[in-house]
Amino acid sequence: MAKRVGIEVSIAIAEAVKLAQAEVVAAYPITPQTHIVEHLSELVADGELDAEFIPVESEHAALSTCCGSVAAGARTYTATSSQGLMLMSEVLYVASGMRLPIVMTVANRALSAPISIWNDHQDIMTQRDCGWIQTFAENGQEAVDLTLHAFRVAEDRKVSLPMIVNIDGFTLSHVIEPIELPDQADVDRYLPPFKPKYKLDPKKPISMGPVGIPEVYTEARMAHDQAIKNAKRWIIKAWDEFEEVFGRRYNPVEEYRTEDAEIVLVTMGSISETAMTAVDKMRDEGKKVGLLKIRLWRPFPGPEFRKAAKGAKVLAVVDRTLAPGASSGPVGEELRTVFYKVPGAPKIFNFIAGLGGRDVTVERFEEMVDKAASYAKKRPKELYEVIGVREK
């Protein structure tokens, strides 16, 4: 029987990696990812997980090492955050272009300067286009479940792409939650052994990572784009199977009290929990407010999102990153594109909130909803607004 325990989310993620029987873990410490890899190194040291734990000398090396191990046929995991993700950046693009199914947890954190160890989504949003499948977890249970799901999807021969599970640093990584840790037998049923179609093998030599001349490069990129778009089907199918085995249901976009909602908040990650509380409060006050939570970020589930947002008149989209000089935040921009020239599309207002560890409280969500309601009547001057910023 699966057991429900009070456990720190980072530890639970490491336990999920153990349940997935990862064979190579290469990682470099950075707050707030550290507890995940510390626990994994303990599991390996204690013989509870039969894997090679490689304490590399940098994040760039971590992901480079992962490229080598997965290409040689081993189930491979890593985790990082913030500056570490930036250092990895070069290799992120290589890993996905080479279709290497690595699974990585990113404990989302702000970027320097000024240096900040606290949570927002600036790290991962710089890697928006790195060609990895990306999901966002809302709570500890999801963090565990999405980790198992990530191995299932990434290694599926029909997908064969690397996958990132985003968890909010501290607000998720360091909290103790009641989490159901699945049974090994169930995990084994859900997650078949890793059998890549291609690997480095002297019996059948292939070359990986060749030069792409102009006569092939566009086609290579197109193939990658199509692969990640097609992956959506298998991502959803793997969630269907997850429900069958473990009884919990996941969708690309989750709806919360959206029936008859006129103003709908859009969130990603752990702030969704506070957002639900805020929605409940506003509903109690008779406001027709709902919430859409984006779980699948890449490939972006456009049709699913449009369907989920049907009937909404206004979307208040929360971004947890500030893109200096851009027209709006990445999520805001994405949704404006998704609804461009769609008849009956909702009005979209973009709010930047919760940067570098600043709390996004119930009151802040109420503020965003109120502002969105008033902007719907009178267009604001700016395309986005930073919430809770002090002027003097």
Partner 1 sequence: MIPELEKFKGFSAKRLPKEEGLASGHRGCQGCGEVLALRMVMKALGKDVIVCSATGCMEIITSPYPQSAWNVPWIHVAFENAAAVASGVESALKVLRRKGKLPKKHIDVVAVGGDGATGDIGLQWISGAFERGHDMVYVCLDNEAYMNTGVQRSGCTPYGAMTTTSPPGKKSIGQVTWKKNIPQIMVAHNIPYVATASPAYYLDLMNKIKKAAMVNGPAYVHIYSPCPTGWGSRGEKSVEYARLAVETKVFPLYEVIEGKYIVSRKITKPKPVSEYLKGQRRFRHLTEENIAYIQKRVDEEYEKILRLAELT
Partner 2 sequence: MAVQDAIIGWKTITHGCHVLEPGSTRHFKTGDWRSMRPVVDKEKCIKCGMCYIFCPDMCYSQTEEGYYEANMDYCKGCGICANECPKDAITMVPEEEE
How many CB atoms within 10 Å of residue 10? Answer: 28
DSSP codes, 44-91: HHTTSS-SEEE--SSHHHHHHHHHHHHHTT--EEEEE-HHHHHHHHHH
Residue found by looking up tokens 């709390």 in the block: 359
Closer residue to partner 2 (CB): 148 or 227: 227
Query: What is the Cα–Cα distance from 328 to 386, expressed in whole angstroms?
Result: 10
- Among 6, 47, 114, 202, indicate the residue that binds partner 1 (CB under 8 A): 202
Minimum CB separation from partner 1 for residue 51, in Å? Answer: 6
Beta strands at 24-26 and 76-80: parallel, antiparallel or unpaired? parallel
300: left (phi over 0), alpha (psi -120 to 50) or beta: beta
DSSP codes, 89-127: HHHHHHHHHTT---EEEEEE---SSS---S--SHHHHHT
Q: Name which of partner 2, partner 1, none residue 324 binds, using a CB cut-off of 5 to 8 Å depending on partner kind.
A: none
223 lines the binding site for partner 2 (CB under 8 A): yes
226 lines the binding site for partner 2 (CB under 8 A): yes
Minimum CB separation from partner 2 for residue 232, in Å? Answer: 18
215 lines the binding site for partner 2 (CB under 8 A): yes
State the Cα angle at 383 between 251 and 110, rounded to 5°: 60
Question: Per the structure block, which two tokens stand in for 73?
Answer: 């046929």
Q: Which of residues 39-98 bind partner 2 (CB under 8 A)?
A: 97-98
State the number of binding residues for partner 2 (CB under 8 A): 23
- Among 105, 147, 160, 267, indicate the residue that binds partner 2 (CB under 8 A): 160
- Among 6, 47, 114, 210, indicate the residue that binds partner 1 (CB under 8 A): 210
- Among 214, 324, 325, 343, indicate the residue that binds partner 2 (CB under 8 A): 214
- Among 45, 115, 176, 216, indicate the residue that binds partner 1 (CB under 8 A): 216
Is-contact 115 360, C-beta < 8 A?
no
Closer residue to partner 1 (CB): 26 or 107: 26
Q: Name which of partner 2, partner 1, none residue 61 binds, using a CB cut-off of 5 to 8 Å depending on partner kind.
A: partner 1
- Among 7, 17, 19, 24, indicate the residue that binds partner 1 (CB under 8 A): 24
| SS3 assignment, position 319 | strand
DSSP codes, 216-252: HHHHHHHHHHHHHHHHHHHHHHHHHHHHHHHS----S
Closer residue to partner 1 (CB): 66 or 275: 66
Residue found by looking up tokens 């570098």 in the block: 356
45 lines the binding site for partner 1 (CB under 8 A): no
Query: What is the Cα–Cα distance from 169 to 377, expressed in whole angstroms?
Result: 37
Q: Name which of partner 1, partner 2, none residue 99 binds, using a CB cut-off of 5 to 8 Å depending on partner kind.
A: partner 2
State the number of binding residues for partner 1 (CB under 8 A): 44
Q: Name which of partner 1, partner 2, none residue 57 binds, using a CB cut-off of 5 to 8 Å depending on partner kind.
A: partner 1
212 lines the binding site for partner 1 (CB under 8 A): yes
The sign of the dihedral angle between the CA atoms of 249, 193, 136, 93 is negative
| SS3 assignment, position 188 | helix
Closer residue to partner 1 (CB): 6 or 207: 207
Closer residue to partner 2 (CB): 157 or 310: 157
Question: Can you give the binding site for partner 2, defined by CB under 8 A?
Answer: 97-100, 160, 197-198, 205-210, 212, 214-216, 218-220, 222-223, 226
Question: Can you give the binding site for partner 1, defined by CB under 8 A?
Answer: 23-24, 26, 50-52, 54-58, 60-62, 64-74, 76, 90-91, 94, 98, 200-202, 204-213, 216
